Amino acid sequence: MEIIIKNDAESGSNAAARAIAKLVRENPNAVLGMATGSTPLNLYNELIRMHQEEGLDFSSVTTFNLDEYIGLSKDHEQSYHRFMWDNLFHHININPDNVHIPDGMATDIPAACSAYEKAIVQAGGIDIQVLGIGSDGHVGFNEPTSSFASRTRIKTLTRQTVADNARFFEGDESQVPRHCITMGIGTIMNARMNLMLAFGEGKSEAVAAMVEGPVSSIVPASILQHHPTAKIFIDEAAATKLRLADYYRWTYEGKPEWQQDA
Ligand code: PGA
């Protein structure tokens, strides 16, 4: 794991955006895994800026989103379809045919999940997966005790996640869907690079458990310790519970220039 501690969410997000831009410039047919929630908003704003001001070209890029609520239509205000189009896709030159987001209204959910897995394989696998972490340590919507071998499937949200996400549903927990479709942990681990973003004091415990705790399905994101290319972008507030924070800063500051892709 590479732990990149930046002063604030904006500079952490900009560093992650640079890693994505580098890939897209080198490989216009790159396959990106996308995430939703509050965390990636700065990252998406920076990618939009790079598209508009620097001509970053997404016309041949393919995307796969991590997850979607079950029971929300694509145009529901809180669906992750809507989130992605509102916050990124409408503002860049992505080809809509290349966008993949799990279908929360699928009538045959197991079939839709296995088709999603097949589509990822057919696209050549995910080059860079963007991730966030839940305050309960989830990654995607893989809640605690999710199998590390899991693939795209239905999951039940924890009460903690429902409470955390109620802010998007006017604070009303009863409006938050209980079920979702999420890429599995096995799916995420197949990505060639994982970029995890976590900002704010509220994420500090989950970040410490992910980075320095034991690898355990009770903290699903801790599996990233086993990923060969996982970069963790955090701000100072999210870094407060890391025992080796000084070491991570020292390592990042001392990186040879040719390695500084983020
Ligand atoms: P957040 O969610 O970005 O809204 O904090 C992250 C997550 O639940 O994975």
Q: Is 138 part of a structural domain of the chain? A: yes
In the chain, the N- to C-terminal Cα span, in Å, equals 14
pLDDT at 31: 98
Predicted confidence (pLDDT) per residue in 19-52, tens digit:
999 999 999 999 999 999 999 999 999 999 999 9
Of the pLDDT bands very low, low, confident and very high (cuts 50, 70, 90), residue 261 is low
Ligand 1 cavity residues, CB under 6 Å: 37-39, 132-134
Return the exposure string of 84-94: e unless at least 16 CB atoms fall within 10 Å of the residue's CB, then b. bbebbbebbeb
Q: Is 164 a catalytic residue?
A: no
Q: Is 170 a catalytic residue?
A: no
Mutate which of 155, 160, 164 for ligand 1 pocket (most atoms within 8 A of beta carbon) = 164
Q: Is 258 part of a structural domain of the chain? A: no
Mutate which of 133, 141, 205 for ligand 1 pocket (most atoms within 8 A of beta carbon) = 133
Say which residue the tokens 């890939």 belong to. 23
List Cβ<8 Å contacts ≥24 apart for 226-230.
226/189, 227/1, 227/189, 227/194, 229/192, 229/193, 229/194, 230/1, 230/2, 230/193, 230/194, 230/196
Residues 136, 144: contact at Cβ < 8 Å? yes
User: What is the residue-wise DSSP string for 37-96?
Assistant: SSTTHHHHHHHHHHHHHH----TT-EEEESEEETT--TTSTTSHHHHHHHHTGGGTT--G
pLDDT at 260: 67
Mean pLDDT of 174-179: 97
Predicted confidence (pLDDT) per residue in 213-223, tens digit:
999 999 999 99
Whether the pLDDT of residue 102 is over 90: the answer is yes
pTM (predicted TM-score):
0.96
Of the pLDDT bands very low, low, confident and very high (cuts 50, 70, 90), residue 62 is very high
Domain containing 121: what range?
2-253
- Provide the CATH number for the domain around residue 96: 3.40.50.1360
Please name the residue whose Cα sits nearest to atom 7 of ligand 1.
Answer: 134
Predicted confidence (pLDDT) per residue in 226-260, tens digit:
999 999 999 999 999 999 999 999 999 988 777 76
Q: Is 261 part of a structural domain of the chain? A: no
Q: How far is the CA of 45 from the centre of ligand 1 (A)?
A: 17
Distance CA 27, CA 22 (A): 8
Q: How far is the CA of 93 from the centre of ligand 1 (A)?
A: 26
Q: Is 136 a catalytic residue?
A: yes
Q: Is 74 part of a structural domain of the chain? A: yes
Q: Is 172 part of a structural domain of the chain? A: yes
Q: Is 86 a catalytic residue?
A: no
Q: Is 207 part of a structural domain of the chain? A: yes
Distance CA 13, CA 10 (A): 5
Distance CA 17, CA 11 (A): 10
Distance CA 2, CA 195 (A): 10
Domain total of the chain: 1
- Pick the closest to residue 176 from 166, 184, 186 (CA basis): 166
pLDDT at 258: 73
Mean residue pLDDT across the chain: 97
Whether the pLDDT of residue 262 is over 70: the answer is no
Q: Is 259 part of a structural domain of the chain? A: no
